[in-house]
């Protein structure tokens, strides 16, 4: 696509379902977040991404620019309200009002809860749950002014099921389930759709519970495909919760 002019690129984007919409994907530099960002750009959205590693953010942004030149990236800790505020204001200044938010940032830390430290608890709950609250809170006022928007929270089947060693992780994801459902009720009258996606094991660098057969787990693109379906759902309805499993059991 190197030889396509900006004018032609703009015309090309205008025929896509998310043309003229702006999306923010947290944890968008790798894994599931990167795949989601690429899918949204492919559908025509201008995309902002954040993460904690400058090098991977820059590389992901270069990939996005091959699909849509309207890209913004910023290193940010989404567990800190001050950094979230700067992220959202900078993204909107560069790209325009955010219409799609994907809360994807997350970490896994496994083992018996009684063996974990308070620091472990704070790290997992802040990254996986508090960040959803902080980033959503920062973006919602713009969506209310615009009369609508989509918020997609990436949870997990661990938000509905328990397993040995999953105390901290399951607590964070069960929290995401409850927060998402309440947000959906709070915001639906403003035209804002809140969805939660619950994948099973995904083939990423994410710190999981041990090695699994890559052919028997979900791929990041599987989750990205579902996000694409959520944000292109017909007006007047929304997909509130989606559970995802690989076809073949590992």
Task: Count Cα neighbours of 8 within 13 Å in the Cβ-side half-sphere.
Answer: 5
pLDDT digits (tens, 9 = 90+) for 95-151: 999 999 999 999 999 999 999 999 999 999 999 999 999 999 999 999 999 999 999
| CATH code, domain with 224 | 3.40.50.720
**How far apart (Å, rounded) are the C-alpha atoms in residues 227 and 151?**
10
Angle at 49 between CA 96 and CA 97, to 5 degrees: 15
CA distance 244 to 117: 31
Select the more confidently predicted residue: 216 or 152: 152
In the structure, what pLDDT confidence band is assigned to residue 212 with cuts at 50, 70 and 90?
low
Q: Which long-range contacts (CB under 8 A, 24 or more apart) does 79-87 make?
A: 79/126, 79/127, 79/130, 79/131, 79/134, 80/134, 81/134, 84/131, 84/134, 84/135, 84/138, 85/138, 87/24, 87/48, 87/50, 87/135, 87/138
Residue 173 lies in a domain: yes
Using one digit for the tens of pLDDT, what is the confidence trace for 64-74?
Answer: 999 999 999 99
Residues 6+ apart with CB under 8 A from 139: 24, 88, 98, 101, 149, 151
Mean pLDDT value across residues 176-181: 98
Q: Is the pLDDT of residue 189 over 60?
A: yes
Which residue is listed with tokens 């900078």? 90
Residues labelled as active-site residues: 169
Q: Residue 197 in 3-state DSSP?
A: strand
pLDDT for residue 35 is more than 90? yes
Residue 43 in any domain: the answer is yes
Residue 8 lies in a domain: no
The answer to whether residue 6 is domain-embedded is no
**CA atoms of 111 and 172, how far apart (whole Å):** 14
- Residue 244, H or E segment: strand 241-244
Domain that residue 60 falls in: 20-244
pLDDT value of residue 1: 36
* Total domains in the fold of the chain: 1
Residue 125 located in a structural domain: yes
Look at residue 144 and tell me if it is in a domain: yes
Task: Evaluate whether residue 9 is within a structural domain.
Answer: no
Residue that has been written with the tokens 């998402």 in this structure: 180
According to the model, what pLDDT value does residue 150 have?
Answer: 98
The average confidence (pLDDT) of the chain is 92
pLDDT greater at residue 216 or residue 163: 163
Helical ranges in 156-219 per DSSP H:
167-187
Bridge pairing between strands 71-75 and 100-103: unpaired
Task: Judge whether 2 lies within some domain.
Answer: no
pLDDT tens per residue across span 223-233: 999 999 999 99
d(CA 99, CA 106): 22
Global confidence as pTM? 0.91
Average pLDDT over residues 209-230: 85
> Has residue 5 got a pLDDT over 60?
no
Q: Based on C-alpha coordinates, what's the Rg of the chain?
A: 18
Question: Is residue 50 within 8 Å of 28, Cβ to Cβ?
Answer: yes
Place of tokens 């947000």: 183
Percentage of residues of the chain with pLDDT beyond 90: 86
């Amino acid at each position: 696509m190197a030889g396509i002019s900006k004018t032609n690129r703009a015309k090309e984007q205008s025929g896509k379902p998310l043309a003229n919409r702006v999306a923010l994907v947290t944890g968008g530099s790798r894994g599931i977040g990167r795949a989601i960002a690429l899918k949204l750009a492919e559908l025509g959205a201008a995309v902002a991404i954040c993460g904690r590693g400058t090098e991977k953010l820059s590389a992901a942004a270069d990939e996005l620019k091959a699909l849509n030149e309207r890209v913004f990236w910023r290193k940010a800790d989404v567990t800190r309200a001050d950094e979230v505020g700067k992220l959202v204001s900078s993204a909107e200044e560069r790209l325009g009002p955010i219409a799609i938010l994907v809360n994807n940032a997350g970490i896994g830390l496994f083992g018996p809860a009684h063996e974990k430290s308070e620091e472990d608890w704070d790290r997992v709950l802040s990254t996986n749950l508090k960040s959803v609250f902080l980033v959503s809170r920062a973006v919602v006022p713009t969506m209310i002014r615009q009369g609508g928007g989509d918020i997609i929270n990436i949870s997990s089947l661990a938000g509905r099921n328990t397993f040995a060693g999953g105390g901290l992780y399951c607590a964070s994801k069960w929290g995401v389930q409850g927060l998402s459902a309440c947000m959906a009720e709070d915001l639906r009258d403003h035209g804002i759709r809140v969805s939660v996606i619950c994948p099973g094991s995904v083939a990423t660098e994410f710190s999981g519970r041990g090695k699994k057969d890559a052919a028997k787990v979900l791929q990041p693109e599987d989750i990205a495909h579902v996000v694409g379906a959520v944000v292109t759902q017909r007006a007047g309805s929304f997909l509130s919760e989606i559970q995802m499993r690989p076809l073949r059991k590992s």
